C-alpha cells in the first residue's frame, strides 16, 4: 500500500471490489445488478469503517475520510450508520458528522423526487 497516496489506493480498491461484487452477484448468484451493487457497497462500507477503526486504535495508515464519505454517498449510508454505532467510530468529529448528515439528506431528497414522479 502506498503511504503517499492513500486516497487513490483506497478509492481504486473500493471500485475494484464493488465491480467484482456486482459481477459475482449478478453472474453467479443471479441477483439483479442493482441489488448486488447495494449489497456489495454496504458490505464494503461496513468493512472500511471497521478497518479504519482498527487502524486508528493501532496508529497505522487510516482510510481517508473522503473515501468513507464516497462509499456512503454511493449507496453505503445504511452500513455507514450501522458501523458508526457498532464500532463507535467517527461519532465525535462534528465536521465528519455534518457531511454524513448532508449525504443522508441528499439521498432522502433524491428518493423522494424519484417516488414523487412515479
- Cell 423522494 maps to which residue? 112
Q: What is the pLDDT of residue 3?
A: 57
- pLDDT tens digit at each of 118 positions of the chain: 545 677 888 888 888 888 888 888 888 888 899 899 999 999 999 999 999 999 999 999 889 999 999 999 999 999 999 999 999 888 888 999 999 999 999 999 999 999 998 7
Amino acid at each position: 500500500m502506498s503511504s503517499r497516496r492513500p486516497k487513490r489506493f483506497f478509492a481504486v480498491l473500493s471500485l475494484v471490489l464493488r465491480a467484482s461484487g456486482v459481477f459475482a452477484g449478478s453472474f453467479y448468484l443471479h441477483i439483479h445488478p442493482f441489488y448486488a451493487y447495494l449489497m456489495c457497497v454496504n458490505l464494503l462500507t461496513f468493512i472500511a469503517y471497521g478497518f479504519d477503526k482498527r487502524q486508528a486504535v493501532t496508529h497505522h495508515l487510516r482510510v481517508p475520510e473522503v473515501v468513507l464519505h464516497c462509499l456512503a454517498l454511493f449507496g453505503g449510508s445504511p452500513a455507514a450508520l450501522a458501523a458508526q454505532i457498532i464500532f463507535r467510530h467517527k461519532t465525535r468529529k462534528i465536521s465528519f458528522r455534518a457531511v454524513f448528515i448532508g449525504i443522508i439528506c441528499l439521498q432522502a431528497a433524491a428518493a423522494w423526487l424519484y417516488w414523487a414522479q412515479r
